[in-house]
Each structure stands twice: as C-alpha cells, then as structure tokens.
Amino acid sequence: MTDSEIVELYKNKAEAVACKIVEYKTIEEAIPYIIKVVEEKAPCELLDDEDVEKGPLSPNGVPTRIQPVLAAPHCDEAFYKKFSEACEAKGYKCISKGLRNYLAGIDVGIASAVLGIAETGSCMVDTSKEDIRLSTMICEVSILVLKKSTIKPTLISVAEDLRSHIGASSASYTTFISGPSRTADIERVGAIGVHGSLEMHIILLEG
C-alpha cells in the first residue's frame, strides 16, 4: 500500500471504532478544535466530593464541575503556552502535571501517540509517565495526536518499533488504544466509559 492508502485505511478503521478524526498541519492549528470539543461536551461529572465549585446534578445524579479542566502532560513547551492561553481566555483550567490531584474528574486529556496501526485504527502510546497514563484513562474525552508518517499498515509491522521503543527497560508502560473505553462485562451489556474515556478524538498531523 502507498502512504496515502495506509492513512485512509487508518481513518476508516478508527472511525469504525467510534473515533472522531480531524486533520491539521500542526498541533497549534488544532487548538481551536480542542476548545470547541470542550464547549460542546456536557459538564464533567465529579466522582468524589472534591472541594471545587459544583454545578447542577448530571443525568446520573452526581454533581458536575463548573470550570472545565484540560490536561496536556509533557507536551511541547511552545504548544502548551499557546494552549494554556487559549484555555485561560475561555475560563478553563489547563494543567500539564499533577493529574493525580484531579482524579475527581477531568474534561479533556491530550497525549501524543508513538505510532498508529492502520488495520485496527489503533494508537500506540508511551504511558510510562503517570500523568500521560492518567490523561488517557481518567478524562471524559481523550484526544490523541498522531503523525501520519508514523502510521504502520499492520500490527505485525510494528514489532520492531515496539522492541526499540521498550528497549531494555523493565519498567516501561506501552498502551494500545482503539477508540473510547467500552466493556460488556456487566451482564454482557455494552457500556462506554467504564474503564476510560467516553469519547476519543484523533488529531492527524502532517509530517
């Protein structure tokens, strides 16, 4: 397959597992899109009695967070400066570390993918650092940033990349993510968001 065919296959497979795909040349160009995602989502549900200003009860009967929280851990410094300024202009709270202090609820988490797998629409994410791990697990909306040039055709074709990425470390975490969290463990009824995000967006970048 050509590079463009691999990218098209990836987009089709990712959309098939309920991912929302958008394309930009740079991550900075995607900032308005990320802000729009927050504007359009329902208020974040608070999972415990965190000492923050609370909004009305959600349809599930739990308090909601008034001020949206966006997490962008370990991202490029230049991007984070522009992103945090955009959040501040909207009255949103933007954090880059200490996600453990916000376990009650985070609206949006942003993380970079090491590579993508076209045949499954999956992203491989280096989750060795706790904040990145939490950004893909505890946020209601997960946004993954993926460069088109890193998309591989099949799972088998990433074997060498996986070996070199993990290396000799015995404490490495690598996560393969395919769409928002879903399970059918509870009486074989499908449920979204039980073990992770309710919604997933993938930002495809050129280069």
Instruction: Write b or e for each residue in 147-172: b if 16 or more Cβ atoms lie within 10 A of its Cβ, otherwise e.
Output: bbebbbbeeeebeeeeeebeeeeeee
The pLDDT, as a whole number, for residue 12 is 97
Among residues 75, 73, 56, the alpha carbon closest in space to that of 64 is found at 56
The pLDDT value recorded for residue 52 is 84
> How far apart (Å, rounded) are the C-alpha atoms in residues 95 and 135?
11
Rounding to the nearest 10 degrees, give the CA dihedral for residues 115, 120, 126, 127.
160
What's the pLDDT score for residue 187?
Answer: 62
pLDDT on residue 163:
78
Classify 3-205 by CATH class. alpha beta
Structural domain spans, the chain: 3-205
Helix (H, G, I), strand (E, B) or coil at 132: helix
Specify the pLDDT at position 180: 84
Helix axes of 77-90 and 31-40: crossing angle, nearest 10 degrees: 40
Q: Which pLDDT tens digits describe the chain residue by residue (207 residues)?
A: 899 999 999 999 999 999 999 999 999 999 999 999 999 999 999 887 778 888 999 998 989 999 999 999 988 899 999 999 999 999 999 999 999 999 888 999 999 999 999 999 999 999 989 999 999 999 999 999 999 999 999 999 888 877 776 665 556 788 999 988 666 566 665 555 556 688 999 999 997
Report how far residue 138's alpha carbon sits from residue 181's, in angstroms, rounded to the nearest whole number.
Answer: 10
pTM over 0.85: yes
pLDDT of the residue at 196: 64
- What pairs with residue 128 in β-bridges? none
Own/partner long-range contacts of 31-34 (Cβ < 8 Å, ≥24 apart) = 31/82, 31/83, 31/86, 32/86, 33/203, 34/70, 34/83, 34/108, 34/110, 34/143
- Beta-carbon contacts of residue 191 (< 8 Å; ≥ 6 apart): 182, 183, 184
- Return the pLDDT at 161: 78
